[in-house]
Amino acid sequence: MKLSKRITTLTEDESGGWALYFKARALVEAGESVTELTIGEHDVGTDAAILDEMHRAAKAGHTGYAAIPGIPALRDEVAARVAATTGVPTTGDNVVITAGGQAALFAAHMAACDPGDRALFIDPYYATYPGTLRGAGAVPVAVPARAENAFQPDPKDIAAAAPGAASLLINTPNNPTGVVYSRATLEGVAEAAQTHDFWVISDEVYDTQIWEGEHLSMRALPGMADRTLVVGSMSKSHAMTGSRIGWIIGPDEAVRHLINLSTHTTYGVAGYIQKAALFALRRGIDFETGIAEPFRRRREIALKILEGQNVVRAVPPQGAMYLMLDIRTTGLSGTAFAEKLLDQRRIAVMPGESFGRAAAGHVRVATTIADDAFAAALEELVQFAAAQI
């Protein structure tokens, strides 16, 4: 039976850039020992106190259909947090709770783009972006952030791609590069958005993982609150990846329509998950700092290991749980390097090419395993790289 073009052409190939990850998984399933530095998932589970609250809420009856926009207390809590960190007046009416950041990305593009509209995104990009944009009916258009510019997007490149665009998706702190966008970058984006009248969809799911500089939200720039949809999530900030809880923050008219979309897609997020999320947010910033701490530590460990050699160069990681390593001195592509490293050393890293053309000749290393094992794997990766020359 014929399937829709929309679904059969969602990604360029069926792996959607995850081929190396699937290969590593298959090896593990076959009983091999593989050091997994591929995906952005914490090496700790969700905190026991959050799970207790989830359990308590479920036992207390929050197992039926929950409020589709999100329970009011959670929407208010998210709004208060955003108002405090951005200085932009924000109420619960500016917030819709979603099934994680991924559902928020899809919904935000459904709100910003009509079928066939140009939807810009920055390359290197988080692997689901082009498929998400296509899924929403838009035509994804990549705007490169160049390695020689330390992967900061150049507003000139954005302005060049902007005519006729309906939206631009940005992500800071960035996955896969670890780059935090500078004020100048964001001001350039804001200017292009206002000149060319497009929406900015600002993926800020790593906003609690900042190692250098500060996180600036696109929504806080003058004139941007009316044309920005911020994507947030508790996956990374609270180690709640499996709970599928996130949000979109935007103008109240956009949020009203997004709630209608939720009614016709997810029908909201489980009440006991929302209650647990509320409890988790109320634990405050110290809890979030604690969740981020291992990634800060491993970044330091990595930078020490990479010091004093010049075969593997790190793109300075200012945030998030990844290192983007430039391995072009080996003469290998990121894909060839990652495949050889997996075949010969049983270490799995993501090829830069999985994240777009701009990250060719790089590999992304997730800082998501215990310190000692992480240090040993990175040391071996450096030796392996040197042996290729």
Residues that bind ligand PMP (CB under 6 A): 40, 100-102, 126, 171, 175, 203, 205, 233, 235, 241, 246
Residue closer to ligand PMP, measured from CB, 125 or 198: 125
Residue closer to ligand PMP, measured from CB, 175 or 318: 175
Residue closer to ligand PMP, measured from CB, 193 or 366: 366
Q: Minimum distance from CB of 125 to ligand PMP (Å)? A: 8
What DSSP character marks residue 319? B
Q: Minimum distance from CB of 249 to ligand PMP (Å)? A: 14
Peptide bond into 124 cis (omega under 30): yes
Q: Minimum distance from CB of 18 to ligand PMP (Å)? A: 12
Q: Minimum distance from CB of 360 to ligand PMP (Å)? A: 20
Give the integer Cα–Cα distance in Å for 128 and 143. 16
Write out the H or E segment, with its range, that includes residue 123: strand 118-123
Residue closer to ligand PMP, measured from CB, 224 or 277: 277
Inter-axis angle of helices 285-306 and 371-387, nearest 10: 30
Give the integer Cα–Cα distance in Å for 70 and 274. 7
Residue 341 Cα distances to 298, 326, 335, 346, angstroms: 21, 15, 10, 6
**Residue number, nearest CB to ligand PMP:** 101
Residue closer to ligand PMP, measured from CB, 288 or 305: 288
Burial of 12 (0-12, 13-18, 19+ CB in 10 A): exposed
Residue closer to ligand PMP, measured from CB, 86 or 171: 171
CB 322, CB 366: distance < 8 Å: yes
Residue closer to ligand PMP, measured from CB, 70 or 328: 70
What DSSP character marks residue 60? T
Q: Minimum distance from CB of 343 to ligand PMP (Å)? A: 26
Nearest to residue 101, comparing CAs of 129, 138, 71?
129
Give the integer Cα–Cα distance in Å for 329 and 284. 44
Q: Minimum distance from CB of 100 to ligand PMP (Å)? A: 3
Residue closer to ligand PMP, measured from CB, 62 or 236: 236
The residue whose two tokens read 């190396």 is 20
Q: Minimum distance from CB of 75 to ligand PMP (Å)? A: 17
Q: Minimum distance from CB of 304 to ligand PMP (Å)? A: 25
What angle is formed at CA 334 by the lines to CA 155 and CA 302, rounded to 5 degrees?
A: 85
Cβ neighbors of 234 (< 8 A, separation 6 or more) are 240, 243, 245, 246, 277, 280, 281
The residue whose two tokens read 């994507």 is 231
Q: Minimum distance from CB of 183 to ligand PMP (Å)? A: 20
Q: Minimum distance from CB of 329 to ligand PMP (Å)? A: 28
Give the integer Cα–Cα distance in Å for 92 and 73. 8
Residue closer to ligand PMP, measured from CB, 231 or 332: 231
Residue closer to ligand PMP, measured from CB, 155 or 246: 246
Pairing of strands 228-233, 246-249: antiparallel
